[in-house]
Structure 1
Amino acid sequence: MIKKFLIERMSWIIFFIVLQFFIIFIGFMDSTLPVLSLLYIVFLSSIGFILFLIVRYQKETNFYRRLEDWEPLDDVSPIPNSSSPLEAIVEKNLTEQTEHYKREMSQNITHVEQEKDDLLSWIHEIKTPLTAMQLMMERVEQEDLKSQLQYEWLRVHLLLDQQLHQKRMPFLNHDLYIERTNLESVIFQEIKGLKTWCMQRKIGFDVSLHVTHILTDAKWFSFILRQLITNAVKYSEASDIDIESYTKKGLTTLSIRDYGRGIDPRDLQRIFDKGFTSTRHHNDSASTGMGLYLTKKVAESLKIKIEVQSKRDEGTTFTLTFPKKNAFVDITSM
């Protein structure tokens, strides 16, 4: 702050130094003026000027120091009170702009909340005709047509489910309920939901669970599984998907391995980025680039470590490592 103050008042300092040199110059030019007396005056005035700068530094920087620590949208720390007419102008403008932005932010939050509620309501409403369509498809006699309809119905269902969870994401920490969850039940429920699609792509599952129960939020963990299994099915064909749970270094681990097209090495660091699809299959319209992004966000909230290993044309393995019991203290205390 001292350096900034000196730079701000540099014109004063330069003017004072030039003035002192001018006085000394006059003393040398005019022999009637005692030079020693003039030097004494310059010395005293320099001391006075330094004391003046010290006083002004304390007075002028006090307002700006408080201004540096001020949080514009924090009601707990109000705008610093001014102590001069110029500081009063700054305070007045800051107050008016802050109030304006607070009003705008409040309006935007209300608008976003309304849009979210409308979308969630629409998603819940659209589930009714989707259920009716599912029942109607059961009456279709042509197996090829029935299979295609069920596949497209499943795509719509999964996209709606993804959108629903995406809108709930900002409130995820308030929606968690950590409980002892039956891993087998959750996995087979998700596999059952993809049964038609798996049959169409001739995909089977090899499930080996050495650990049968975990501590997690069943609803949000199901969402993670749904995204990972859906990806495995989407990018595989005529092969099995291996799902295995085991204990590693005292931690429960779940791996989901497919033998599909794999992930390009240059994409591995970006697959969890929002909106990222693929550089190798950039025109893949079936991918939204949101599934793995949301999966990562949910996993972080559940304290689940998610890792991925993949080789091109050999398949991909996602590994979920669950935290120890005491890691949920932070979640349950929210």
Structure 2
Amino acid sequence: MSFLSYLKDKRYFIGMYAVTMLFISMIMFVSVKGQDALNNITYTNAGCFLFAALYITIGYFYRKSFYKELGEFLGKSQHQDWAIEALPESQNNEQELYLQLLTQLSKDQANETQLLQSEIRNHQDYILSWIHEVKLPIAASRLIMENRAGKTAEYLVDKLEDELSKIDSYVEQALYYSRIDSFSRDYFISELSLNLLVKESIKKVAKLFIAKRIRPDMESLTLSVNSDSKWLGYIIGQIVANALTYTDNGGSITFRSEETDSEKRLIIQDTGIGIDAADLGRVFDKGFTGVNGRTHSRSTGMGLYLAKQMALKLGHDLSITGAVGEGTTVTIHFMKMQHYNDLR
């Protein structure tokens, strides 16, 4: 910092000094007559000017080291982790406050950058996992066509439809995953029949219900809820798909609804292999597959994670209970309308 720049920063002090000295000189001029008044004014102004000049000069050289270090710091490329530590030490309370502000801003930026990098890594991991998953039905379809000799057209169409259904499921999951952050721009709340939503979800995987001889029970499904049909339909579809995956042939999946003073519930209960107690608290974590996902089927660990996130964004919630060999129960909790409006 040059001396002229420092004087510019001190312009208010210099202006106040000039006004004060002018006022004092006027008082002395009207109070004392003749040559004595001029002598007093001259000596007083000269003395005060000397002290003011010394104050400004000493202050400049005192501050000069700080500004010099700061200028050198700004001229270098600093690594974010230790850049703030390399700043010069403060010389007064004002500088200390600014340094504290910079430190806090740096920490906030570092946290945001770390979070963003984590999200990017998770997104890349999911894309890689998704690519490997979607390649399986594509490869299976190619094998079906290569070994089509001796197979009827009906058989080939049926097998290819199964593989296309898997591809469609993976593509749908990727689509919802990519839109989860822009959820607020793509939903419409209306009153929906749980019975119709469940029927629609079952219809999409009807062939698997038939192939595994699994019976859906919907006799106790009578309530209506306030939600978005598309997003809630996907949530129910993910739960149904999981239930089918881990329920053995000849099992059953029961759908029922309940109502309390504060909420309505859609309960989906299967007679499948259940969930290990150690996995219950983590089944909604991103990318978590658990014991079942590693031993019974290939899984990306994204289905229930997406379902949970969508439910929360809709103002609902998901909970899960179960035990190994005793099946699994997934509950979707819907707040009553007055509580939902309070939440929004």
TM-score by length of 2: 0.57
Q: Does the 8 Å CA contact 1:150/1:196 hold for their aligned counterparts? A: no
Per-residue CA deviations over 1:127-167 (Å, capped at 9, x if unaligned) read xxx9xxxxxxxxx9566555433332221111111111111
Aligned to 2:254: 242
Pairing 1:189-204 to 2, within 5 Å after superposition: 189-204=200-215
Partner of 1:3: none
Is residue 2:187 matched to residue 1:176? Answer: yes
Alignment pair present for 1:217 and 2:217: no
SS at 1:276 equivalent:
coil
Cross-structure match for 1:63: 98
Distance 1:302 1:56 in 2: 53
Counterpart of 1:192 in 2: which secondary structure? helix
1:72 deviates by 8.2
Compute the displacement of 1:213 (Å).
Answer: 1.2
Shift of 1:330: 6.6
1:316 equivalent in alignment to 2:321: no
Structure 1, unaligned runs of 5 or more: 1-51, 75-96, 124-129, 131-139
Q: Which residue of 1 aligns with 2:217?
A: 206
Q: Percent identity?
A: 28
CA contact (8 A) 1:271 1:292 kept: yes
Q: Whole-Å Cα distance in 2 between the matches of residues 193 and 281 of structure 1?
A: 22
Distance 1:210 1:281, change over 3 A: closer
Q: Does the CA contact (< 8 Å) of 2:253 and 2:271 recur in 1?
A: yes
Task: Name the structure 2 match of 1:259.
Answer: 271
Which consecutive residues of structure 2, in runs of 5 or more, have no partner in the other structure? 1-61, 63-89, 135-140, 142-150
Shift of 1:198: 1.1
Cα 1:157/1:278, change in 2 over 3 Å: same
Which of 135, 151, 175 aligns to 1:164? It is: 175
| Residue 338 of structure 2 is aligned to residue 326 of structure 1 | yes
Q: Structure 1-normalised TM-score?
A: 0.59
* 1:286 aligns with one of 293, 298, 304: 298
Contact 1:173 1:331 in 2 (8 A): no
Q: Deviations over 1:260-319 (max 9, x none)?
A: 111111111111111111235525553111101101100110121211111112210001
Contact (CA 8 Å) 2:262, 2:339: kept in 1 or not? no
Cα distance, 1:311–1:173 mapped onto 2, change above 3 Å:
same
Match of 2:311 in 1: 299
State how far apart, in whole Å, the 2-side matches of 1:152 and 1:201 are.
17
In 2, Cα distance between the equivalents of 1:274 and 1:255? Answer: 23
Is the contact made by 1:147 and 1:200 (CA closer than 8 Å) also made in structure 2? Answer: no
SS in 1 for 2:216: strand
Q: Is the 8 A contact 2:217 2:254 kept in 1?
A: yes
RMSD: 3.4
Task: Deviation per CA, 1:6-41: give whole Å up to 9, x if none.
Answer: xxxxxxxxxxxxxxxxxxxxxxxxxxxxxxxxxxxx
- Indicate conservation of the 8 Å contact 2:221/2:257, yes or no: yes
**Bigger mean CA deviation after superposition, 318-327 or 218-227:** 318-327
* Letter in structure 2 aligned against 1:201: K
For residues 246 and 278 of structure 2, what CA distance do their matches in structure 1 show?
18
Partner of 1:148: 159
Matches within 5 A, 1:34-73: 56-70=91-105
Paired residue type of 1:199: I
Describe the superposition over 1:205-237 as per-residue Cα deviations: whole angstroms up to 9, x where unpaired. Answer: 000345431100111000100000000011112
